[in-house]
Structure 1
């Protein structure tokens, strides 16, 4: 499975970004462009999202291994990257670092923790609303926005979802494998603890970023994070919810730059 990517920048260390559920690599475009003068930026479409291939079932470890193949195939494993992941993509990034630490020089985990979350009902409503739109009869994106309004009252979230609605010569289509994502939501909100080695840890530096208004990162998750990622540093960004990098992009970028420019983890 060859994942779709967008690349920016011509020199410097590589920084690879993984998006969250219902997203695509281009969600990171603003941050990527800001870094591209000093870094080689790679924005990844994860499986079942964007222009990457579809799968028959959602599997976190398979997602992580597919990104690992991308990284090792591109560099032969000789050039470990700074890996950044948000939400679902943050779990993918954590699992990749745990399973393939030689590929990850440092890790940034954005507004998620290595735990199971009970948030499936909200996402079920989003998926049902997207699937209910008559794509053959759809005249414009505004009509799709109106159709989603009841299930997705937050205009920012609606706008985020509608980024994956694409108009092509044959009509409209979702750049999402909605059938698989809807069926496997319990897996997506879970954490595959039982599939990791009992002593699994990542030895590199980790920046753990949370939004002050988000429920996805709180003190109750510190023990799980510390056990798997002993060299993590937690930063909470004020005025941000779950979409930290979209809600406070300048602050997020400054925090990210400082981490990328900091020395590598000492032995």
Structure 2
């Protein structure tokens, strides 16, 4: 069992609906891992599709201190479009919303785990010449942001992890059930989203979640009415166990000693109190913002989330 390597210091944020509870600091620094170059990286990277949201009054060019926004499982860059526009406006920074591998318009690849996704994002940062970016990720995107920070700390200024933690957990059975329902839709060869929704309803009662999942449907052949999912269901089905894992196990060997914000939904189970000491070991300068929401923090409480991010990223005196 890991011992407590950090001592929380209470903080208060004067923002409605947001409660910052702790900043943990390491007692001793750990050596940062070396950069994994494209030539020596053990993972084949894929080029990530992205949208660029430009601020009306930029404080720097699009390569300096941008934000890279990453979605969760079954999501895409479209999910964070509205929040990215707001953050670009409020921060004066360019926001890159990306499609992670096997999602949205990014290429499919048989390997779908956090080291591979982290390598994709590191390659994206280097290819676009981005300097000191902030990484924001929700759920699967949160663990990807953590993995990039630990694997390539020299490429990242800070991170915002939304409702996930650097621990191995078993994914809820909901995700496997979603894939079963989505596979049934493809087998049925549906032409209308209403028909797809009827097939999916026995697998998920929430209309909001069904609409989120069905947002992945498209017509690969415009001349044919049959709809398919953009996400490769068979690859994701085989990868579910990997998506519950976290690739770094020993915080005495690797730490991200730059600022990190962990935003959690207080009605979600993904960041329980008992993992906070481990977060402090991997991310000794972490801050914690609690928002009265479930797992879908950004869509459930967008204003509280915006306030938390602005507070974290605004210049400190």
Q: Check whether TM > 0.5.
A: yes
Question: Which residue does the alignment assign to 2:53?
Answer: 8
Question: Which residue does the alignment assign to 1:189?
Answer: 244
Cα deviation for residue 223 of structure 1 reads: 1.7
Could you list the per-position Cα deviations for residues 22-78 of structure 1 after superposition, in whole angstroms to 9, with x for gaps in the alignment?
111111111111122311010010001111011112221011011010011111x5x
SS at match of 1:58: coil
Structure (1 or 2) with the greater strand fraction: 1
Given the alignment of the two structures, is residue 244 of structure 1 paired with residue 311 of structure 2, yes or no? no
Q: Greater CA deviation, 184-193 or 93-102?
A: 184-193
Given the alignment of the two structures, is residue 84 of structure 1 paired with residue 139 of structure 2, yes or no? no
Aligned match for 1:61, one of 110, 115, 127: 115
Asked if 2 retains the 8 angstrom alpha-carbon contact of 1:209 and 1:234, the reply is yes
Q: Aligned partners of 1:262, 1:216: CA distance in 2, in Å?
A: 29
Where does structure 2 lack aligned partners over 5 or more consecutive residues?
A: 1-45
Task: State the TM-score, normalizing by the size of structure 1.
Answer: 0.92
The RMSD of aligned alpha carbons is 1.7
Aligned match for 1:51, one of 102, 105, 109: 105
Given the alignment of the two structures, is residue 23 of structure 1 paired with residue 75 of structure 2, yes or no? yes
Question: Which residue does the alignment assign to 2:40?
Answer: none
SS at match of 2:80: helix
Cα deviation for residue 198 of structure 1 reads: 4.7
SS at match of 1:208: strand
Cα deviation for residue 178 of structure 1 reads: 0.9
Task: State the TM-score, normalizing by the size of structure 2.
Answer: 0.78
- Shift >4 Å, 4+ stretches: none
Cα deviation for residue 103 of structure 1 reads: 1.5
Structure (1 or 2) with the greater helix fraction: 1
Bigger Rg, structure 1 or 2: 2
Q: Aligned partners of 1:217, 1:252: CA distance in 2, in Å?
A: 16
Asked if 2 retains the 8 angstrom alpha-carbon contact of 1:120 and 1:189, the reply is no
Highest relative contact order (Cα 8 Å, sep 6+), 1 or 2? 2
Given the alignment of the two structures, is residue 143 of structure 1 paired with residue 195 of structure 2, yes or no? yes
Cα deviation for residue 252 of structure 1 reads: 0.6
Q: Greater CA deviation, 29-38 or 243-252?
A: 29-38
Asked if 1 retains the 8 angstrom alpha-carbon contact of 2:171 and 2:243, the reply is no
Cα deviation for residue 106 of structure 1 reads: 1.1
Given the alignment of the two structures, is residue 98 of structure 1 paired with residue 150 of structure 2, yes or no? yes
Aligned match for 1:127, one of 159, 167, 179: 179
